[in-house]
Each structure stands twice: as C-alpha cells, then as structure tokens.
C-alpha cells in the first residue's frame, strides 16, 4: 500500500514536485499523469494497520537519526531504540564522522514511503526522501555549511519486529529520485 508520509515540518506541496518521479505516487498534490494509487501491494495478506505500524517504526527511526545528527551524539537513545545492526552501526559512524568535523545536521527530511513487503517479523519500506531541508551547521560558528549534491534519494529499508515495535536494521540507497 502506498502511504504518503509526512514529516512534522514537511511542506508536501513543494516536496511533491520534487518527488514526483519516485513512482510510488500517493502524495496528496497533483502528480504527472500516471498511477496515483498503490501498484504493488505488500506481500501476503497484511492489512493496512500492519503496514501502518511498519511505517510508524520507520519514521521513528528517522526521528532518531535526525536527533542523533542534530546533537552529534552517536549514542543517542532514541536512535538506539528504533535501530538495529547493521544499520545502527552505520548511522552511528556517520554521526561520529560529522561530529568530528564539528558539524551538526539540522532541519527535517521529507518522505514518500510505502511498505513494500511484510512477512512475519520482517518488512521492507521503499522511500523517496528529500534531505534538501536537512543541512549541516558548524557548531563552533553556528553558520550553515553550504553543500552540493543530490537532495532526493530512493532507498529500501529493512525492518524487523523487535519487542512489539518495528526497528530499521538495514538500508540500501539505490539512487536519486
């Protein structure tokens, strides 16, 4: 089921234009011609609430990632609560690297995510996420560091159910979107 997901501070109208090429549709603003509803239902007979729970876990993971990067704290507890290895080690390494550069990444990330597969205690989420509003700040000067590079990426995240919640355990960035 295609599921539009919106960060608390996201502005979907802007994001929709950027993310229209992701193919998953489902955003709430006009898109180019093409399907705007689910094309690839999650495997099995998982119902919408189960897929919703997966996406909730997925967004909680991102909340942890963003908080860890903002604080420059690889040991951030929210991150640890919603992430498992190898993803946890990967994110911690990136936060630590940015922290060594005296950088704090601040802002928000926009998502257009859907549950791709859901089987037992494993699920995958496909997301086309936009990090143009998530930028590094030099913690010594307080000034934003100008960056270049892409802003919207397509990625697949693997989640595992752990103690009743879904945590992200792996991810692969597949390219731009």
Region of residue 36 (left: phi > 0; alpha: psi -120 to 50; beta: else): alpha
Give the residue, chosen from 156, 160, 162, 165, that forms a contact with another protein under the rule CB under 8 A: 156
From 9-17, 47-55, 113-121, 135-143, give the range in contact with another protein by CB under 8 A.
135-143
d(CA 129, CA 153): 5
- The CA-atom distances, in angstroms, between 3 and each of 41, 44, 49, 145 are 11, 17, 11, 33
Which of 158, 166, 167, 168 binds another protein (CB under 8 A)? It is 158
Give the orientation angle of helix 87-100 with respect to helix 48-71, to 10 degrees: 30
Residues 80-119 that bind another protein (CB under 8 A): 86, 90-91, 93-94, 96-103, 105
Cα(26)–Cα(35) distance, rounded to whole angstroms?
9
The 4-43 contact track toward another protein, x by CB under 8 A, reads ----------------------------------------
Tell me whether residue 30 or residue 97 sits nearer to another protein (CB atom).
Answer: 97
114 CB burial (10 A radius; 0-12, 13-18, 19+): buried
Q: What residue ranges bind another protein (CB under 8 A)?
A: 65, 69, 74, 86, 90-91, 93-94, 96-103, 105, 131, 134-136, 138, 140, 145-150, 153, 155-156, 158, 170, 172-175
């Amino acid at each position: 089921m295609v599921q539009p997901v919106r960060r608390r501070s996201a502005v979907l109208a802007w994001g929709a234009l950027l993310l229209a090429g992701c193919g998953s549709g489902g955003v709430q603003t006009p898109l180019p011609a093409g399907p705007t509803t689910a094309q690839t239902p999650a495997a099995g007979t998982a119902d919408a609430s189960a897929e919703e729970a997966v996406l909730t876990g997925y967004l909680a993971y991102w909340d942890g990632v963003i908080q860890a990067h903002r604080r420059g704290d690889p040991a951030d507890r929210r991150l640890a609560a919603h992430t498992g290895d190898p993803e946890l080690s990967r994110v911690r390494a990136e936060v630590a690297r940015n922290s060594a550069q005296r950088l704090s990444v601040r802002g928000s990330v926009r998502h257009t995510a859907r549950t791709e597969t859901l089987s037992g205690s494993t699920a995958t989420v496909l997301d086309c996420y936009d990090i143009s509003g998530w930028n590094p700040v030099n913690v010594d000067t307080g000034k934003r560091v100008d960056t270049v590079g892409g802003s919207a990426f397509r990625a697949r995240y693997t989640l595992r159910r752990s103690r009743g919640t879904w945590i992200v355990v792996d991810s692969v960035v597949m390219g731009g979107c």
